[in-house]
Structure 1
Amino acid sequence: MLERDLSSTLLRLAAGFPVIAVTGPRQSGKTTLVKDLFPEKPYVSLEDPEERAFAEDDPKGFLARFHEGAIFDEAQRWPALFSWLQGLVDADRQPGRFVLTGSQQFDLTAGVTQSLAGRVAMTRLLPLTLGELPDAQRAAMSADAALLRGGYPLLHTSNLRPADWFASYVASYVERDVRQVLKVRDLTSFQRFVRLCAGRTGQLLNLNALAGEAGIAQPTAKAWLSVMEASDLIFLLPPYHRNFGKRLVKTPKLYFVDVGLASWLLGIRDEATLALHPLRGALFETLMVSEFLKARYNNGEHGGLYFWRDNNGLEADLLFETMGRLQPVEIKSGATVTRDYLRAAQRAGSVAGDESLPPWLVYGGDQNMQRNGINVIGWQAIHEYRHTMAGG
């Protein structure tokens, strides 16, 4: 089993909260992780029709089996569970008693908010970070291979071809989950919408243009995006919220959580095609930004990542606060550090003036160095900065 960075956070939270909840996209490794961390707890999948029928028909009898606690997988499938757990944990607030997982964050969060507020610690497990891969496996992987394969655990623990796995994943989970939540009737339109989103990864979100190209109404596009975001298929990176006397862009940027899925949706099936693809730079940026996002969640943090762009063209691909100051990050997909890359990093470092730390330049090569006051970081080494990336 691959070691997951979220493990230490889950164990820390389980020592203080009676209920721990782990959300995240399907197949990100939630069940494997919680069963490994809490092997003494009975495991119940609420996607099992028999277990769910038992719970719905006789909730007291169903829960009577779990006085000492349990793992409830896909907890959102039985919404009444949250109310029943409220009574149980109020009677006995033993830390780490119940562990919930869910792949539909909106349903799980709604249940927690209504019934378990103050009793549950919420966490999120996204696909693998680069640092969660074995050293030898990561060292043997090219940047283009990483862009094609992404971070879903099964693609790193089996011989499955990414193209085969993603085709099954989209049909089995993405489309099914969306149909359950949104009651989408025209699946073809939704498939086209998802692919159009993949073509915009790393770009400013233009909802009107996206809806128009997909042939749907703007409110429909907004609803579909919300579900994709709540399912951890995409995330929206907000612009930095403080104004330093400049006119700043206020639109978020759209990113896919897993770059392999984005590559597959774009029809990219091999490294030769990817190397020449016009969106290779955007896909590399997606991979790197997702590493920062995963570091945050694995540390139990939420939010705190931004980008910067003003109307004069000054920009930083990423911006986050650490040690009371702002860390600007410039991301470039090329394997060679050029003068243009260094100048872009220097400009990124100037976005917040004296409040900025020396900028980072994360690039597609494998050398780490200091140049002209810039911390140059090869893409495979970014995991070594995970504590700083998490705001620590």
Structure 2
Amino acid sequence: MYINRHILTYVSRMKNQFRVLLITGSRQVGKSTLLKEKLLPEYEYVTLDEFTELSLAQNDTALFFKNHPLPVIIDEVQRAPDLFLQIKLLADNSKEKGQIILTGSQSYRLLSKAADSLAGRVCIINMTSLSLREKFSIDFNREFLPTADYIESRKKSIIPYDNLWNHIWRGSMPELADDSMEWEPFYRSYIRTYLDRDVADLITTKNLVKFHNFMQCIAARVGELYNAESLARDVGVTSKTIAEWTSILESSGVIKLLQPYEKNVSNRAIKTPKIYFMDTGLVCFLVGWTSSQVAMNGAMAGGLFENFVVSEIIKSYYNAGHETEKIFFYRDKDKREIDLIIEKDNTLYPIEIKKSARPGIEMAKHFPVLSKLAGISVGQGCIICQCDKSSYLSDDVVALPIEYI
């Protein structure tokens, strides 16, 4: 069962503007499926998971492309980094755009290699697992922003998200959209493959078990401030190792470190990022929650709901072809916190995320701290929660059901 992916519009647009596309994202988010479903037979498809193709790509790059003339899709390109020089030569000699499309699930080294070799020639596209818009076949692909215009546009395509907590618990991997796919075997296999294929080349074999333990520990901290020292104590490695392992998780699309808003703020602002996973199903598996009921009623339910909302908002930006460097959170030493701040056109939009179905204006009590910042405007704020319908709590704060993301 193929599910239409919103990022296809951006991919189609960029392949008419760049000679090379590099689509990165976590393992099994659907990169290969998207390209094979939508770009074959126009392109030849080659995967470097096949040993014969990998050997040729590693040992004779010119012959590799003689066997696979343009236009071509090369999957798992990170396995043969020496291809990039030959790709640069082909891109420079080709008058047509979009003739080479690359995918990779481990961007820890891939992005730097591509940036060095293909500067000015490549468009790097981040692809995530399924959004709820995609799961529910909603034809709306604007990035989330709590403005009156956005809310009015989004309202036209609202569909109730039935069994929301089952979606949060089950996760957003495309294979799990098929109800016949069993949850526990899927994630067990996913983690084994991730460790063997994406992590094993980057750390020593003896540390793979500790890396898995690290994944469990960081999953138990979603929505919290990142603390390398605390993680190091729990895992039994150094803080430096934790920093390196965190970079592996982030660069491979497993987690997102959300940065604090620091522009024009006092020195009382916290400058430590917060931890979020891009797939809440993986969080639930790592911490051992075996059903949606356990996830919904557990002590971490609020943090898990917050993580889910943050990941959905981030997906809306990537799918619309935007980066996420303008999405922040705010927290200061007086413990005043705003879950999300989206900056656009020199305006800050504050967002609070609550598991509650009964939003109140008191949930926005820290929004006014932004009005004290110099040189920037504050736009309409919102409370994203489990309420049934949108409603204004004040002139500039609106409560929105999660369906409005």
Same fold (TM over 0.5): yes
C-alpha distance in 1 between matches for 2:387 and 2:296: 14
CA RMSD of aligned residues (A): 1.9
Q: Deviations over 1:55-93 (max 9, x none)?
A: 233322220133332000001111111100111111114
Q: CA deviation at 1:106?
A: 1.9
Cα distance change of structure 1 residues 269 and 330 upon mapping to structure 2, 3 Å threshold: same
Q: CA deviation at 1:4?
A: 1.1
Give the match for residue 312 of structure 1: 334
SS class of match (1:180):
coil
Q: CA deviation at 1:8?
A: 1.0
Give the match for residue 358 of structure 2: 336
C-alpha distance in 1 between matches for 2:132 and 2:170: 12
Give the match for residue 11 of structure 1: 12
Q: CA deviation at 1:349?
A: 5.0
For structure 2, the 5+ residue unaligned runs are 139-158
Give the match for residue 60 of structure 2: 58
Q: CA deviation at 1:150?
A: 1.5
Q: Deviations over 1:157-190 (max 9, x none)?
A: 3411322211111112245421122224133322
Alignment of 1:234-253 (within 5 A): 234-245=255-266, 247-253=268-274
Q: Deviations over 1:293-316 (max 9, x none)?
A: 112222222221100011222221
Q: Which amino acid aligns with 1:74?
A: E
Give the match for residue 124 of structure 2: 122
Give the match for residue 112 of structure 1: 114
C-alpha distance in 1 between matches for 2:213 and 2:311: 23
Alignment of 1:150-169 (within 5 A): 150-169=171-190
SS class of match (2:276):
strand
Cα distance change of structure 1 residues 175 and 58 upon mapping to structure 2, 3 Å threshold: closer
C-alpha distance in 1 between matches for 2:116 and 2:3: 34
Decide which moves more: 4-13 or 241-250.
Answer: 241-250
Alignment of 1:98 with 2:120, yes or no, is: no
The number of equivalent residue pairs is: 379
SS class of match (1:118):
coil
Give the match for residue 380 of structure 1: 403
Calculate percent identity across the aligned residue pairs.
Answer: 31
SS class of match (2:302):
helix
Alignment of 1:273-312 (within 5 A): 273-302=294-323, 303-312=325-334
SS class of match (1:185):
helix
Cα distance change of structure 1 residues 201 and 175 upon mapping to structure 2, 3 Å threshold: farther
Alignment of 1:212 with 2:214, yes or no, is: no
Q: Deviations over 1:212-255 (max 9, x none)?
A: 11111111111111111111111100000213346200001011
C-alpha distance in 1 between matches for 2:129 and 2:266: 38
Alignment of 1:348 with 2:374, yes or no, is: no
- Large movers: runs of 4+ above 4 Å: none
For structure 1, the 5+ residue unaligned runs are 383-392
Give the match for residue 171 of structure 1: 192
SS class of match (1:211):
helix
Cα distance change of structure 1 residues 140 and 238 upon mapping to structure 2, 3 Å threshold: closer
CA contact (8 A) 1:44 1:73 kept: yes
CA contact (8 A) 2:260 2:273 kept: yes
CA contact (8 A) 1:326 1:352 kept: no
TM-score calculated relative to the size of structure 1: 0.92
Give the match for residue 390 of structure 1: none
C-alpha distance in 1 between matches for 2:99 and 2:224: 43
